[in-house]
Structure 1
Amino acid sequence: MHVFETLLAILLGATLLSAFARRLNIPYPTLLALGGALVALVPGAPHLSLPPELILALFVAPVLLDAAYDASLRDLRRNWLPISSMVLVAVGLTTVAVAFTARLLIPDLPWAAAVALGALLAPPDAVAALAVLRQVNPPFRIRMVLEGESLLNDASALLIYRLAVGAVAAGGFSVAEAAPAFALVFVGSVVAGWVMARPVAMMTARIQDAPSSVIFQFVTTFAVWLLAERLGLSGVVTIVVFGLTVARRSMPPIPARLRIPSFAIWETVTAVLNILAFTLIGLQLRPILEALSQAEQLRYFSGALLILAVVIAVRLLWVLAHHAAATLNGRLVPRAAAPTMAAPTAKDALVVGWSGMRGIVTLAAALALPAAFPYREFILLTAFVVVLGTLLIQGLTLRPLLLLLKLPKDTIVETELALARKMALKAAMATLEQDDSPAAQRLRAQYADAIGRAREGEDPRDTRDNLLRRQAVAAARTAIDDLRSAGTIGDVAYRRAEEELDWLELSARSE
C-alpha cells in the first residue's frame, strides 16, 4: 500500500508540475527531473526504484512505438545523410571522447568500462527529445532530423554498450569478434520487427471493440520488446521497425471508430509515462549519493561535470562540422527529391547540435550494470549529472535559442495538408458524380464544407446520405493513400487528413 500511495503522490505532483511548466513555456522534462531530485534530497522522502529492465520496457517501448508509428519514411529518406551521421558518427565520437576523458580522470578504469560509460551517455534520449520538441515546435526539417535520430540512435549506442559490458565480464574485448555480433544483432532485430508486424496487424484488425483493441495494442508492444530481449536482439531496433511496418497501408487498416479512441488513449498513456519517467530520473539521486563517501562525491561530481561538457561539445562540434562539409559537397538536400524543402543553414545545424538532451535510457542503462562492475558508482553519478545537466542547460535554453535565431517558419505541412484535402475532395466528388439522386446532389453541395469542418459535420438524416457519404470518404482515403505512397505528402500531413476523414466517416452513422 505504501508503494501505491507513493506512486499516486508522485503522479499527482508530477502532473501539477508538468502543467506549471507548460504555463511557463519551458520543457516539462526539465522541471520534472529537477523536482524529482529536490524531493529525493528531502529527509524522509519516499524511495522508489524499479528494475532497469522494467524501466526500459515500461517507459521506452510504448513511446518509441508511438513515435515510429507517426514517423514519415519519406522524410527519413530525404534526410538520411544528417540522420545517419548522428546515429553512427556522433554516437561513436561521443563514446570515444567520453571513454578517453574517463580514463584521464580515473587511470585504473578498464577500457571496456570506459567504453560502456561512453556508450550509455552517447544517445540523446527519444523520450526527452520528443517531449521537448513538441513544445518548442522547430521548423519541419529540423524536427524530422531530430525525430529520425531519436528513433535510431539508442540502437547503435546500446549495442556498443552491450558489447562493452560483455567485454568486462569476459575480461577482454576484440573488435574482430565484436563486429560480426553487432551486425547479427542489428539485422536480426530488423527482421524480427518486420516479421512480427504482419500477424499482429492482422489480429488487431479482427478486434471490433475499442477497449479490447487498445489493450491488445499495448500488450503486443511490450511482448515484442520482451521477445526481442529474450532472443538477445535489440528491443529498440525491433520496436522501431515493428512500428514503422505496422503504420504502412499494406496492413489491414484500423476502422475509424477504433482509431480515434485508440489514438486518444495512446496519447494519454505516453504522456503519463513521460511524466513518471522524468520524475523517476530525479528520484535516483539519493540512492546514488548514499553509496558514496563525501570525498568520492566531490571527486566523482567534478569528473561528471567535465564529462557533461565533453558530451555537449562533441555533439555540437560534429553537427557544425558535418554541416560545413556537406555544404562544400553540395549534398545537404537532394533538390529533385525535396523541391519544396529549403536548404539547411548553419542556424539549423546549431539547433540540431544543441538538441542533445539525455534521458531515461541513459539512466536505465547505468542502473542495469552489474553490482560488481568497475567504478559503478562513478558511472551512475555521471549518468545522472549528464541527464539532469543536459535537461537543464539545453532543455531550458532551446526555446530561447530558436527565438534568438529567428528561423523562418515553414509551411510544408500546411501546404501538403491543403493538397491532401483538395485531392480527397476531388475523389469524393468524382464518386458522387456517378449518382444523380437528390441525396447525391445535396452531398455534392455540402461536401467541400464538410471535409474542411470534419469535426462539425451535420448528422445525416437518411441511409441514402449515409451510404453515399461512406462511399465518398472511402474514395477520399484512397486518394490520400496514393499521395503518401507516391511521396507527394508526408505522414504528418497524412495523419491530419486521415483524422478529418475519420470524423467525417463517424458522422455518417445510422439513425
Structure 2
Amino acid sequence: MSASLLLVAVVAVVLAALCRRYGLSAPLILVVIGLGIGWIPGTPEVTLEPELVLFLILPPLLYSAAQESSYQAIRANRRAIGLLAIGLPLFSTVIVGLVAYATVPHLPLAAALVLGAVVAPPDAVSAQAIGRRVGLPRRIMTLLGGESLLNDATALTAFRVALAAAVGATASVWEGLSTFAIAAVGGLVIGLAVGFAVSWLRLWLTDPPMETAIGLVVPFGTYYVAEEIHASGVIAVVVAGLFLGQRSVRLGYATRLQDDAVRKSIDALLESFVFLLIGLQLPFLIRGLAGESWVQIAIDAAVVLAATILARFLWVYPATYLPRALSSKIRRREERPTPRAVFIVGWAGMRGVVSLAAAFAIPLTTDDGGPFPARAEILFLTFVVVVGTLLLQGTTLGWMIRRLGIGADDAAKDRLAYASAQDRASRESERRLDELAAELPENDPRRHQVAMLRKWVTTQRNVGWEELGRGPEDIGESPTAAGNRMRMDLLQIQRKVFIEERDDGHIDDEVLRTALRRLDFAEGQMDREVD
C-alpha cells in the first residue's frame, strides 16, 4: 500500500505541474485522470484510508489555510461564517438524510442521516483550490474559507451522533449537543495553548530552519492531542493556525520567506495527491455494488446529488437576508449582498476528500453483529456527490462568475491601500533620516549613505503611486519597473560572474552559495515589489 501511495503522489505532482504549466484546472483534471487510471488493467488498487486523510492530509491543509486567512476578516464576517459553518452542515445533514431515506430502498433513517452528515461539509481543499483559480472576490473567499475551516468539526460531530444511532448505540439530541460543545471548547483551548507555546518557542529560538521544522509538526501534534482527549482536532488546528498566522509578523524575515515557500510546496503536493486519490476510488466502489440495480442506483445518485446542491441554496438565501430583515444594526453595519453574489456562495459548495474519508470510516457491522445497512450504497453515493460537485460546480464556477458579473475589484482597493500606507511609512522614514543627517557633521562620509537611503525611500513611495492608476490593460513600463528591470540585469551578470569564478577554481562552493543567497534575496525583494 505504501508503494502504491508513493506512486500516486509522484503521478499527481507530475500531472499537477503540467496543468499549472498550461493553465489548466489541476483539481478537475486530476479527478478525471484518476477516474480513467482506475480502469487500466493491472493498476494497483489504492483504497482511501480514513486515518490517512484525517491524521496526515487534513491537518496540514487546514493549518496552511488558517495561516493564510485573515483573523480580522473572519471576525468581521463571524455571523455569516457561523451560519455557514455550523447551521448549514446540520441543515444539509437533515435535508439530504430525509431525501435519501425516502429514495434509497432499505435505508434506515439513522443510516440516511449518516449519509447526510458525510456529504454535508464543503471541503477546504476544494473551496480554496478552485476559488483561487477562478478569481472569487475576497469577501466571498473569506466566507468560503472560514466556512470550510470550521464546518468539518460540525459535520464530523453530526456524523458521530448519527453513526452511534445507526450501529445501535444510544445517542440523543442532548448528547449530540454536549459532544459538540465539549469538542469545540476543548479544540479552542488546545489550539490557543499550542499557539502561545509555539509562538514563544519560535521567537526564543531565532533559528529559521528549526522554526520552520517546528511549524511543520504543529498541525499533526495539535490534531493528535485534541483527538486523544475527545476534543475537535479540526478546531484546534484552525485556532492554532489563525493564532500563529497573526503572530508571524514577529518572526524574522528569513523564517517568513522559508515558511511561505515550504507551506506552498506541501499544499501543492497534498492537494494534487488528494484529487487524484478521489478519482481512483471509483472501481473499488463499483465492485461493492455487484448485483444491485444500476437503474435504481443511478436514480438514487441523481436525487442525492441534487438534494445536496439544493440544500445549500435553501439555507444560504434565508441565512443571508433574514438577519438583515430582523436587525437594523446589521443593515447599518454591513453592505447588502447582491442576489448574484449569494448565488455564487451557494454554487461554490464543492465536496472533497473529507466526505470520502468519513464514508470509509463507517464500520462494516453494527453493535448486534449484523452488516451496516446499505454501506456500499452510502460509499458510492458519497463518491457521486464529491465527484459530481467537483465536476459540475467546479467546471462552471468561473463561467458563472463571468456571466453574473461578480468581478473582484480587490486589486484596485489593494493598490490604493498599499499606496496610502507606503506613503505614510515613507514619510516616517524620511523624518528619521532627517534626524540622522542632523546628527552627522557636514563632511561626514556617512551622509552619502543617508542620501542613498533617501532615494530608496522615495522609490518605495513612487512604486505605490505609479501602480495605483495602472490596470491589467496598461502594458507601458513605469520608471520604477524600468529600474527594477535594469537591476535584474545587473544581478544576472553578477550571478554569472560568481559561477564562472567557481568554475575556474578561484572560489569554492561555500563562497558561491553565500554570494548566490545574497543575490537571491535581492532578486526576491524586487519580485515582491513587482507583485
TM-score, scaled relative to structure 2: 0.79
Bigger Rg, which one: 2
TM-superposed CA distance for 1:119, in Å, is: 1.0
1:31 to 19, 25, 29: 29
Alpha-carbon RMSD = 3.0
**Deviation string, structure 1 residues 243-276 (Cα, Å, up to 9, x no partner):** 1111223x78221012102211110111110000
Query: In structure 2, what is the Cα distance between the partners aligned to 1:187 and 1:405?
Result: 40
| 430 and 174 in structure 1: CA distance in 2 versus 1, 3 angstrom threshold | same
Query: In structure 2, what is the Cα distance between the partners aligned to 1:311 and 1:86?
Result: 14
TM-superposed CA distance for 1:283, in Å, is: 1.0
Residue 157 (structure 1) aligns with: 155
TM-superposed CA distance for 1:165, in Å, is: 1.9
Q: Does the CA-based 8 Å contact 1:224-1:238 persist in structure 2?
A: yes
Query: In structure 2, what is the Cα distance between the partners aligned to 1:334 and 1:432?
Result: 47
Residue 401 (structure 1) aligns with: 400
Q: SS at 1:158's partner residue?
A: helix
Q: Which amino acid aligns with 1:94?
A: S
Q: Does the CA-based 8 Å contact 2:48-2:357 persist in structure 1?
A: no
Residue 446 (structure 1) aligns with: 456
Q: Which amino acid aligns with 2:306?
A: A
Instruction: Tell me if 1:133 matches 2:131.
Output: yes
Query: In structure 2, what is the Cα distance between the partners aligned to 1:362 and 1:146?
Result: 17
2:356 to 355, 363, 373: 363
Instruction: Tell me if 1:282 matches 2:279.
Output: yes
Q: Does the CA-based 8 Å contact 2:104-2:300 persist in structure 1?
A: no
| 298 and 144 in structure 1: CA distance in 2 versus 1, 3 angstrom threshold | same
**Deviation string, structure 1 residues 36-68 (Cα, Å, up to 9, x no partner):** 111112222121235311212222111111111
Instruction: Tell me if 1:314 matches 2:307.
Output: no
**Deviation string, structure 1 residues 398-451 (Cα, Å, up to 9, x no partner):** 000011111243233333333332333233333323201412233122213147
Query: In structure 1, what is the Cα distance between the partners aligned to 2:294 and 2:221?
Result: 40
Residue 302 (structure 2) aligns with: 305
Q: Which amino acid aligns with 1:362?
A: S
**Deviation string, structure 1 residues 81-108 (Cα, Å, up to 9, x no partner):** 3222211222121100111112112464
| 301 and 43 in structure 1: CA distance in 2 versus 1, 3 angstrom threshold | farther
Q: Which amino acid aligns with 1:365?
A: A
Q: SS at 1:41's partner residue?
A: coil
Q: Does the CA-based 8 Å contact 1:301-1:381 persist in structure 2?
A: no
Tell me, which stretches of 5 or more residues in structure 1 are unaligned?
Answer: 460-498
1:215 to 213, 216, 221: 213
TM-superposed CA distance for 1:187, in Å, is: 0.9
Q: Does the CA-based 8 Å contact 2:67-2:242 persist in structure 1?
A: yes
Residue 470 (structure 1) aligns with: none
Farther-moved stretch of structure 1 (390-399 vs 153-162): 153-162
Query: In structure 2, what is the Cα distance between the partners aligned to 1:230 and 1:284?
Result: 29
**Deviation string, structure 1 residues 360-409 (Cα, Å, up to 9, x no partner):** 11011111111223321111111100000000100000000011111243
Q: Which amino acid aligns with 2:200?
A: M
Q: Does the CA-based 8 Å contact 1:65-1:239 persist in structure 2?
A: yes
| 12 and 107 in structure 1: CA distance in 2 versus 1, 3 angstrom threshold | closer
TM-superposed CA distance for 1:238, in Å, is: 0.7
Query: In structure 1, what is the Cα distance between the partners aligned to 2:332 and 2:16?
Result: 41
Q: Does the CA-based 8 Å contact 2:8-2:277 persist in structure 1?
A: no
| 50 and 310 in structure 1: CA distance in 2 versus 1, 3 angstrom threshold | closer
Q: Which amino acid aligns with 1:95?
A: T
| 204 and 169 in structure 1: CA distance in 2 versus 1, 3 angstrom threshold | farther
**Deviation string, structure 1 residues 187-210 (Cα, Å, up to 9, x no partner):** 111111111111112222344444
Q: Does the CA-based 8 Å contact 1:359-1:387 persist in structure 2?
A: yes
| 327 and 19 in structure 1: CA distance in 2 versus 1, 3 angstrom threshold | farther
Q: Which amino acid aligns with 1:204?
A: R
TM-score, scaled relative to structure 1: 0.82
TM-superposed CA distance for 1:140, in Å, is: 1.9
**Deviation string, structure 1 residues 193-240 (Cα, Å, up to 9, x no partner):** 111111112222344444433222111221111111111111111100
Tell me, which stretches of 5 or more residues in structure 2 are unaligned?
Answer: 366-371, 441-446, 464-479, 489-520
Query: In structure 1, what is the Cα distance between the partners aligned to 2:192 and 2:166?
Result: 32
Q: Does the CA-based 8 Å contact 2:135-2:408 persist in structure 1?
A: no
Using the aligned pairs only, state the percent identity.
Answer: 34
